[in-house]
Amino acid sequence: MSQLRTRFAPSPTGYLHIGGLRTALYSYLYAKKNNGKFILRIEDTDQGRYVEGAVELIYRTLRETGLTYDEGPDVGGPYAPYIQSERKNEYLKYAKQLVESGHAYYCFCTEERLNSLPSVNGARKYDKHCLSLSKEEVEKRIAAGEKYVIRQNMPTEGSSTYHDVVYGDITVDNSELEDQILIKSDGMPTYNFANVIDDHLMNINCVMRGIEYLSSTPKYNYLYDAFGWERPMYIHMPPIMKDAQHKLSKRNGDASYEDLISKGFVKEAIINYIALLGWSPKDDTEKMSFEELQSKFSVEGINKSPSIFDPVKLAWLNGLYIKEMDEDTFRKYAQPWIEKSKLNGKFDTAKLCALIHSRIETFAEIEQKLDFLVTFGDYDTELYVNKKQKTTVEQSREVLPLVKQAFEKLDGDSWNNQNLYNALLQLAMDKGWKNGQVLWPARIALTGLQSTAGGASDIADILGKKETMRRIDYSIKLLSKAK
Ligand code: GLU
């Protein structure tokens, strides 16, 4: 086979959703694996659904995620233009060629007539009414300025079979194939027509797309055959579900790449997770860098069955990527999240980062996980009772004033995590307590919470002496009233 050429052909109708990004990813990986080319084509023939800014978002997302296209609207290439609206004039020429050869025909039917056709399972099938119009009549009506579309003339009997790499041989009854519109009354081609013309003209020999196109593909194959063009190889991908019943779909506003970024996921984890939505490597590895994806990807690993978008698994994977970040990288990501939280400007960023780095799965958790640093007040003193740490309310009442005394001795530079920690351990030793019998009440006294990121000394270090002392005093008071 000549050089492999795959394409990603999104319609600029809004955010780049997970399904679209997966198509782009698989098409990219498959092309690269085979030393082929990956092409971006913008399918904007449905002007009614065009969303301002969507094209730029597609470019940006592909660039950001490393899905670099070899040819595309903004990078050019030998088959430019790569935006369908800029290729508008091409399509009519090809449609007319099909009319000449009897594979397509002009149709003048009005909305009204189309709406009066019998509906079968909610769909009205066109009845080939205009197929019988003579050439002269067609010309006369066009000259008179009548509105028309051009329809594909489908066979009505027999069946059509083609091979899909994932789903095997697909057979569709020709009676199910509609005389689909190729050119609309505004002169624009439909997606159904333009994708075939462009795939051929752009030399695309491998078409990868969502399973929703599986049953339309025979219609496209009739177009290839009518022109005498070679059909591409087809790779349809399994649906991505929200749950067992519902598809993850952009129309009902489900996750887009941008949404995930704004929820605190990192692009490496998103791409890694998306790769697993419908594909797995032979060795079943789950965490894979972009380079590993490139070396492990194979179409044999694409599953037929639907995959469920599982936010919990994505978060788990994201957590692994966060944990392996070095300090600087973590800080670069965490900084904007800290800045837009209530923590902003109140604490030392490096200390906050050290405290939280190993304890979050997404950056969005920072604010909630560290909220105790800015929020402190009445809490249940039962928290001092901890069987495992052997602490009680009574014993904590004895511990806290001593913690206060120990902390009093530290100040300025000596007020640091290590010294604070040592002071607590020293206290335990002096009194013959277990470490937990000091550490547990000290941490509760500073946070009023059963569990927090970090221990008493980490927290005291970040809070600073004044706030630490205020909280200990508050807790001593609270305990004095407890039973
Ligand atoms: N423009 C179509 C879409 O966004 C592309 C389908 C295809 O890849 O052929 O769904």
Ligand 1 centroid distance, CA of 251 (Å): 14
Ligand 1 centroid distance, CA of 10 (Å): 5
Cβ atoms of 99 and 106 within 8 Å: the answer is yes
Ligand 1 centroid distance, CA of 209 (Å): 7
Predicted pLDDT of residue 253: 59
Predicted pLDDT of residue 85: 93
Check pLDDT > 80 for residue 283. Answer: yes
Average pLDDT score over residue span 376-382: 97
Average pLDDT score over residue span 91-114: 97
Ligand 1 atom with the shortest distance to the CA of 191: 1
Average pLDDT score over residue span 147-168: 97
Best of 6, 43, 47, 55 to mutate for ligand 1, by most ligand atoms within 8 A of CB? 43
Average pLDDT score over residue span 269-296: 96
pLDDT tens digits, residue range 442-483?
999 999 999 999 999 999 999 999 999 999 999 999 999 987
Ligand 1 centroid distance, CA of 477 (Å): 66
Averaged pLDDT score across all residues of the chain: 95
Ligand 1 centroid distance, CA of 40 (Å): 11
Check pLDDT > 80 for residue 8. Answer: yes
Residues with catalytic function: 250
Check pLDDT > 70 for residue 149. Answer: yes
Predicted pLDDT of residue 307: 94
pLDDT tens digits, residue range 272-281?
999 999 999 9
Average pLDDT score over residue span 120-143: 93
Best of 213, 215, 256 to mutate for ligand 1, by most ligand atoms within 8 A of CB? 213
pLDDT tens digits, residue range 53-97?
999 999 999 999 999 999 999 999 999 999 999 999 899 999 999
Check pLDDT > 70 for residue 252. Answer: no
Lowest mean pLDDT among 1-5, 286-290, 340-344, 458-462: 1-5
Ligand 1 atom with the shortest distance to the CA of 13: 4
Predicted pLDDT of residue 249: 73
Check pLDDT > 90 for residue 122. Answer: no
Lowest mean pLDDT among 11-20, 112-121, 253-262, 377-386: 253-262
Check pLDDT > 90 for residue 362. Answer: yes
Ligand 1 centroid distance, CA of 88 (Å): 17
Q: What is the dihedral of CA 255, 260, 266, 271, to 10 degrees?
A: 10
Ligand 1 centroid distance, CA of 261 (Å): 24
Closest C-alpha to ligand 1, atom 10: 10
Closest C-alpha to ligand 1, atom 3: 10
Check pLDDT > 80 for residue 387. Answer: yes
| Banded pLDDT at 120 (limits 50, 70, 90) | confident
| Banded pLDDT at 48 (limits 50, 70, 90) | confident
Sheet holding 159-164, edge to edge: 37-40, 5-8, 206-210, 233-237, 159-164, 168-173
Ligand 1 atom with the shortest distance to the CA of 199: 9
Using CB distances shorter than 6 Å, the residues near ligand 1 are 9-11, 43, 191, 195, 209, 213
Check pLDDT > 70 for residue 377. Answer: yes
Ligand 1 centroid distance, CA of 277 (Å): 18
